[in-house]
């Protein structure tokens, strides 16, 4: 069964954008355990669903009349007849064409057990990271470019214990062909010591060395006045639903929350690649 915590996953962000009727996004890991609907029932439902006479533009107008803060471009027809998908960052909901009813939770394909909503989130994460660009990341990779098998993006906090553990083992990741691309997410937020440490790392002449020194836990100070991406990355992490550090984003956009040792991570990436 789909978890009862479906309501706890969408909360604050949907509340601010979709008004007072939503809850926070949830994991789609239970989708495979959702019992499939009988074929005849699904067929009957599909046959009974009337064609929607409204144009997408009219639907957008009806929905934005109720949700004026929503970008109309983020309202699109969903795979379910009669429902329209609304998006804010990595958060999704589903609305009827008249803008009267909002459905919280993921849209699940019962035949495949796949969360169609999570597939959209994955694509959003990949697109947002591509838009940010590697020039705003601190990258630890195998010495030879041809030895890179996988690329994993990690939102990190220099004062986070498990972030430090991951970094102490950075050679274990690169030895297995895993390139680690660091983005900053100081959990304490702007105008704090952790935030200033992140800025000082970026402003250092040797960012990789500075990252290592900062994560060793000693006192770390330096210039914080250079143009840096720390605030942008901190905001991006929030928009992508980050709940703690480290947060790993795999090549297909899947999120792994927390520290994962190099060997099981390499095995997971290999299995993902094999599955296509």
d(CA 228, CA 76): 35
Residue 97 pLDDT grade (very low, low, confident, very high; cuts 50, 70, 90): confident
Element (H, E) at 195: helix 193-203
d(CA 34, CA 40): 17
pLDDT the model gives residue 4: 35
Q: What is the mean pLDDT of the chain?
A: 82
The bridge status of strand 247-249 relative to strand 150-156 is antiparallel
Q: Is the pLDDT of residue 110 over 80?
A: yes
pLDDT above 70 coverage of the chain, percent: 80
Residue 69 pLDDT grade (very low, low, confident, very high; cuts 50, 70, 90): confident
pLDDT the model gives residue 113: 93
CA atoms within 13 A on the CB side of 236: 27
* Domain range list for the chain: 4-118, 133-275
Residue 63 pLDDT grade (very low, low, confident, very high; cuts 50, 70, 90): confident
Query: What CATH homologous superfamily does 4-118 map to?
Result: Disulphide bond isomerase, DsbC/G, N-terminal (3.10.450.70)
Are residues 251 and 275 in contact, defined by beta-carbon separation less than 8 angstroms? no
Cα torsion 263, 266, 272, 276 to 10°: value is: -140
pLDDT the model gives residue 70: 85
Chain centroid, CA 90 distance in Å: 6
Please compute the mean of the pLDDT values over residues 109-135 and round it to a whole number.
Answer: 95
Are residues 95 and 84 in contact, defined by beta-carbon separation less than 8 angstroms? yes
d(CA 244, CA 255): 12
Please compute the mean of the pLDDT values over residues 61-90 and round it to a whole number.
Answer: 87
Please give the model's pTM, rounded to 2 decimal places.
Answer: 0.77
Please compute the mean of the pLDDT values over residues 29-53 and round it to a whole number.
Answer: 36
Q: What is the pLDDT of residues 147-192, one digit of tens each?
A: 999 999 999 999 999 999 999 999 999 999 999 999 999 999 999 9
133-275 has the same fold as 4-118? no
Q: Is the pLDDT of residue 10 over 70?
A: no
Residue 245 pLDDT grade (very low, low, confident, very high; cuts 50, 70, 90): very high
Q: Is the pLDDT of residue 7 over 70?
A: no
Q: In what order do the strands lie in the sheet with 138-140?
A: 138-140, 178-184, 150-156, 247-249, 255-257
What's the CATH architecture for 133-275? 3-Layer(aba) Sandwich (3.40)
Please compute the mean of the pLDDT values over residues 113-130 and round it to a whole number.
Answer: 94
Q: Is the pLDDT of residue 111 over 90?
A: yes
């Amino acid at each position: 069964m789909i978890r009862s915590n479906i309501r706890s996953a969408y909360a604050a962000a949907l509340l601010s954008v979709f008004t007072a009727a939503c809850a926070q996004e949830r994991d789609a890991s239970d989708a495979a355990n959702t019992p499939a609907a009988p074929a005849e029932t699904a067929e009957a439902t599909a046959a009974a669903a009337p064609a929607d006479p409204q144009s997408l533009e009219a639907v957008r107008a009806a929905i934005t009349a109720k949700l004026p803060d929503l970008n109309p471009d983020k309202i699109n027809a969903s795979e379910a007849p009669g429902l329209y998908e609304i998006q804010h960052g990595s958060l999704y909901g589903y609305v009827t064409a008249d803008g009267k009813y909002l459905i919280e939770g993921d849209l699940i394909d019962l035949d495949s057990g796949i969360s169609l909503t999570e597939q959209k989130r994955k694509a959003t994460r990949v697109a947002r990271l591509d838009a940010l660009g590697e020039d705003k990341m601190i990258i630890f990779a195998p010495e030879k470019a041809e030895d890179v098998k996988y690329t994993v993006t990690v939102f990190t906090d220099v004062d986070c214990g498990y972030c430090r553990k991951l970094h102490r083992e950075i050679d274990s990741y690169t030895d297995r062909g895993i390139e680690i691309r660091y983005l900053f997410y100081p959990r304490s937020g702007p105008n704090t010591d952790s935030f200033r440490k992140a800025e000082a790392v970026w402003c250092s002449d040797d960012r990789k060395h500075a990252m290592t020194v900062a994560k060793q836990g000693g006192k770390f100070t330096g210039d914080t006045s250079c143009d840096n991406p720390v605030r942008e990355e901190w905001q991006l992490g929030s928009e992508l639903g980050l709940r703690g550090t480290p947060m790993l984003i795999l090549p297909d956009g899947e999120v792994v929350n927390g520290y994962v040792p190099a060997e099981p991570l390499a095995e997971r990436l290999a299995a993902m690649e094999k599955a296509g």
